[in-house]
């Protein structure tokens, strides 16, 4: 079996670079996976320490049947939902695949089967390709896997920056996360941020509805924020974090006038919904009266929530909280996943 290295990583840049020597590809919104196949056994490594092999038996079976020779492949595991002609990636459905019960894993592998999108080849047979330029690795990847049927796919690429910009705009409608740029002459660099990623970035005005105390016990760890739906209710859509030590303490004083209190004068608390990723994490928060608006930066909306933690931009004292609705959010136009996989 191959030794599975740490995956090569990417650093964020604001725009599509317009220079020679780059290869662009869609940024798939799934689980990063390095697949090792030695001719008899399959192992799926993750970006973190947790192997993914047991959670995707349908992919293990597909790799064993379809991979033409021993290899080590870098790619992304994704799950698509929707009818043919209107499919898109779906993160919540994918995240449900990480389950401790073997019976549940088996059921989900049948109900929501995953796909593997290959985008790099690290080894082929007894040849280690990591020191070779990406252009060579890409050519070997297409040669090895380009003709395989689903659920194995090879990502599309382009060296045209203008086309990459179109992908950035269009492919979001199929649930993708942006665009990645790689140097054509670049070797594989495990654990290093040598690729470039360009993600969707937007701003929204949201209502501060509560805060969690920092894990140190001092100051605000994260702000909970909400948006009003068509039902007139204020919905929790995510959190704002990454405050400095000084700012965390300042926020306690700034938000004190907004803290909801009970008849005895104590702060009213609530709990956010738990997920399988919460574990023993404290999900309680101090409730705030929904009177203060802030502007945040976000990259993507998934259902009724921001896909990732959002970033604080500024307070908006000029905004009426009731004006902070889902209608203000920019989302990608629908785009069929099948058109991205071509």
pLDDT of 330 reads 57
> How far is Cα 133 from Cα 187, in angstroms, rounded to an integer?
5
pLDDT digits (tens, 9 = 90+) for 118-130: 999 999 999 999 9
What is the distance of C-alpha 291 from the center of its chain?
A: 31
pLDDT of 49 reads 63
Whether a cis peptide bond, with omega within 30° of 0, leads into 151 is yes
Domains along the sequence of the chain with CATH: 9-199 (3.30.470.30), 202-328 (2.40.50.140)
pLDDT of 122 reads 98
**Of these residues, 11, 27, 192, 197, which one is catalytic?**
27
Q: Residues with Cβ < 8 Å from 71, sequence gap 6 or more?
A: 35, 36, 37, 121, 123, 124, 125, 144
Torsion of CA 56, 91, 6, 15, to 10 degrees: 150
pLDDT of 281 reads 56
Half-sphere exposure of 118 (CA within 13 A, CB side): 30
Q: What is the largest CA-CA distance in the chain?
A: 72
Q: Residues with Cβ < 8 Å from 129, sequence gap 6 or more?
A: 121, 122, 123, 136, 137, 140, 188
pLDDT of 47 reads 80
DSSP state of 247: H
What is the distance of C-alpha 246 from the center of its chain?
A: 30
Q: Is 182 a catalytic residue?
A: no
pLDDT of 176 reads 80
144 with 69: CB under 8 angstroms? yes
Strands (E), 104-261: 115-124, 127-128, 152-154, 178-183, 193-199, 202-213, 220-228, 234-240
pLDDT of 282 reads 60
pTM over 0.95: no
8 with 192: CB under 8 angstroms? yes
Q: Residues with Cβ < 8 Å from 192, sequence gap 6 or more?
A: 8, 9
Residue length of the chain = 342
With vertex at residue 201, the alpha carbon angle to CA 195 and CA 204, rounded to the nearest 5 degrees, is 160
138 with 23: CB under 8 angstroms? yes
Task: Give 149-179 as a DSSP string.
Answer: PTTEEE---BS-HHHHHHHHHHGGGGT--EE
Strands (E), 28-79: 31-37, 42-46, 71-78
First to last CA, the chain: 31
Q: Do the strands 202-213 and 193-199 form a parallel or antiparallel pair, or are they unpaired?
A: unpaired
pLDDT of 8 reads 94
| Angle, in degrees to the nearest 10, between helices 102-111 and 57-66 | 60
Task: Record the tokens describing residue 16, joined without a space.
Answer: 């599509």
Given a cut of 70, the residues of the chain with pLDDT beneath it are 49, 201, 272-283, 330-335, 342
pLDDT of 173 reads 76
């Amino acid at each position: 079996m191959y030794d599975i290295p740490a995956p090569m990583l990417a650093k964020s840049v604001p725009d599509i670079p317009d220079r020679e020597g780059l290869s662009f590809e869609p940024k798939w919104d799934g689980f990063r996976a390095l697949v090792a196949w030695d001719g008899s056994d399959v192992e799926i490594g993750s970006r973190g320490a947790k192997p993914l092999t047991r959670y995707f038996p349908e992919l293990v079976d597909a790799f064993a049947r379809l991979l033409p020779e021993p290899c080590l492949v870098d790619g992304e595991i994704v799950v698509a939902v929707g009818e043919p002609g209107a499919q898109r990636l779906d993160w919540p459905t994918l995240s449900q695949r990480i389950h401790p019960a073997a019976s549940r894993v088996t059921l989900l592998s049948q109900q929501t089967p995953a796909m593997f999108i290959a985008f790099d080849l690290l080894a082929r047979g007894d040849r280690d390709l990591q020191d070779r330029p990406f252009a060579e690795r890409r050519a070997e990847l297409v040669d090895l896997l380009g003709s395989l049927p689903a659920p194995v796919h090879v990502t599309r690429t382009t060296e045209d920056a203008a086309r990459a910009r179109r992908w950035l705009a269009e492919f979001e409608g199929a649930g993708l996360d942006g665009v990645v740029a790689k140097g054509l002459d670049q070797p594989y660099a495990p654990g290093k941020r040598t690729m470039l990623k360009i993600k969707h970035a937007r701003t929204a005005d949201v209502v501060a509805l509560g805060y969690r105390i920092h894990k140190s016990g001092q100051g605000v760890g994260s702000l909970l924020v909400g948006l009003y739906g068509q039902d007139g209710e204020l919905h929790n859509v995510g959190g704002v974090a990454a405050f400095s030590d000084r700012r965390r303490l300042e926020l306690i004083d700034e938000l004190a006038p907004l803290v909801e209190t009970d008849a005895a004068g104590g702060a009213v608390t609530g709990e956010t919904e738990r997920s399988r990723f919460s574990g023993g994490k404290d999900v309680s928060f101090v409730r705030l009266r929904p009177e203060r608006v802030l502007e945040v930066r976000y990259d993507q909306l998934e259902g009724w929530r921001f896909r990732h933690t959002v970033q604080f931009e500024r307070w908006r004292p000029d905004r009426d909280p009731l004006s902070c609705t889902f209608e203000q959010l920019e989302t990608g136009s629908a785009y069929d996943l099948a058109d991205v996989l071509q």
